[in-house]
Amino acid sequence: MLPTVNTALKGDISRSPFSLPGHRLDRSLLRALAWTGSVKWATQLLSWVSTIVVARLLQPEDYGVVAMAGVFLGLIALLNEFGLGAAVVALRDLSQEQIVKINSLAWCFGALAIVVVCLGAVPAGHFFRSSEVPLVMIVGGLGFMLVAMRSVQTALYEKELSFKLLACLDGVQAVVATITTVILAWWDAGYWALVLGLLIGNAVVTVALLVLRPIPYSWPTIESIREVIRFSSHVLVGRVCWYIASSSDVFIAGRFLGQNLVGVYSFAGTIATIPLEKITGLFSRVMPAFYSAVQTDYVVMQRYLLLLTEGIALLVFPVGIGMALVAQDLVPPVLGEKWEGVVAPLEILASWAAVRSVVALWQPIVYVTGGSRLTMYNGLLCAVIYPLVFWVGSGWGPVGLAVGWVVAQPLTYIAPFRHLLRVCHLSVGNYFRALWSATSGVLVMVISVIAAQGLFLEGATPLLRLGVEVVLGGVTYGGIIMIFHRHRLHPFIQLIKDRKG
């Protein structure tokens, strides 16, 4: 018998945002971005400081152990959630009974994930020839149950556009995890500082969501959630294949390059994405619910896509390319000479991360417009191409692995991009026109910084060079945008004015 549905769950359907008129949806989007963005950037400042502190306290080998364990943990994490959260957000007509059954199924997958981790921990340790990996996997795997316990609650809040609450919870998780990691690293806990910091932050948010929004349980049946299972299976296969593909660099490096070089490469990837992941994570968190709300209106969907593409490009292109330009003067003085090997892969990964940030806007549209099967097949293609490219690239060490991203990833963008153009009734020229203002500004910025490095910064200290490069690059980029592309900022200004109105 189905348990009585509590008050929190009864309000789910009535609070659905799908009937909001356009201007109200715009305002909801801005509020969601404002709250999520402000919290993410506030915690990012703390994260930058803590990353530098922890990197000075730990050794490359510590990051290598966590990276190798993370290859398997990340794969199991995808199986853990089974794409149920994405289904709750994307499918518009779920009943209260179905939500209760999905919640129960999520808990079952969480428990199963822990069992899988325990069974795979020792073989993973043998594969990487590391005695530390098995226990790190088992302890880190406890987080799967924590995520499963709150996955439906999180998806419901996203579907209702309650991003203010979710942003605050994300902030709490980030602060708790950061403080815990720094304290444990200071106490010489080694790689356990990285593992336990994330686990404790995760636990705090899970407990909060279970208290705020308790959901009953009911044994799920295939017939009652058939559509959810179909959608989730496509999401799951696509995510698993993508994870296998995107993690194959660390997987191959761990096998052939050893802990030290794995630590160097994985830390380069961490630094490359730190400034950008908060921006892309902001839109990845917010946009699926909004695209779901307008999935039958291609005019609105096209407007959001172009507006957000141009906005993200204006933010991430100068950050990613700029980090690549100053990497040589940033890493040794800030992180120490032991991390000097990070510079070359960082230059490549930071530049490419800017491109990946823009492409991240595509997936939510593909999912809500009937492209879940396409995503699944594209994931299978990634799982074939990426490992082969990274295996070849590993012969050149961390730099070869970094170049592998630039070689392999564009091949897998073709099918999603064609789907995107079709469902949004968009031409190739119109899409790339949205990227021109950021691209032209970055080109001038690169020329000015490289010229300064060769003309009058060659004999300066690294910190002086770094300061001049950052100021010069920022002023040049901002000047180009304001002089030649000021009119491209008008839609963003108008959107803000409409919200205030």
d(CA 300, CA 305) in angstroms, rounded, equals 9
Q: Given 3-state DSSP classes, what are the helix, strand and coil percentages for the chain, each rounded to the nearest 5? A: 85, 0, 15
Q: What is the DSSP letter of 412?
A: G
Angle between helix 163-186 and 133-159 (nearest 10): 160
d(CA 209, CA 85) in angstroms, rounded, equals 14
List Cα–Cα distances, 275 to 43, 110, 321, in angstroms.
Answer: 12, 31, 11
pLDDT at 99: 85
Closest residue by Cα to residue 287 from 232, 362, 390, 347: 362
Q: Residue 281 in contact with residue 163, Cβ under 8 Å?
A: no
Q: What is the pLDDT along the chain (501 residues), one digit of tens a residue?
A: 333 334 334 444 334 444 444 556 666 766 776 777 677 777 777 777 787 888 888 887 888 888 888 877 876 776 666 667 777 777 767 778 888 888 888 888 888 888 888 898 898 888 888 888 899 999 988 888 888 888 888 888 887 778 788 888 888 988 899 899 999 989 988 889 888 988 999 999 999 999 998 888 777 777 667 777 777 777 778 777 877 888 788 888 877 777 778 888 888 888 887 766 766 766 776 777 777 767 777 888 888 888 889 988 998 899 999 989 988 888 877 777 777 888 889 999 999 988 888 888 888 888 778 777 888 888 889 989 999 999 999 888 889 999 999 999 999 999 999 999 998 899 999 999 999 999 999 999 999 999 988 887 777 787 888 888 889 999 999 999 998 888 877 666 665 555 554
Sequence length of the chain is 501
Q: Residue 386 in contact with residue 404, Cβ under 8 Å?
A: yes
Single-letter code of the amino acid located at 31 = R
Q: What is the DSSP letter of 2?
A: P
Closest residue by Cα to residue 252 from 132, 406, 394, 66: 394
pLDDT at 78: 65
Closest residue by Cα to residue 87 from 198, 231, 272: 231
d(CA 33, CA 39) in angstroms, rounded, equals 10
d(CA 247, CA 382) in angstroms, rounded, equals 11
Closest residue by Cα to residue 320 from 261, 277, 265: 277
HSE-CB for 488 with a 13 A CA cutoff: 23
Q: What is the DSSP letter of 296?
A: T
Q: Residue 387 in contact with residue 253, Cβ under 8 Å?
A: no
Q: Residue 445 in contact with residue 473, Cβ under 8 Å?
A: yes
List Cα–Cα distances, 308 to 284, 336, 496, in angstroms.
Answer: 11, 37, 14
d(CA 82, CA 85) in angstroms, rounded, equals 8
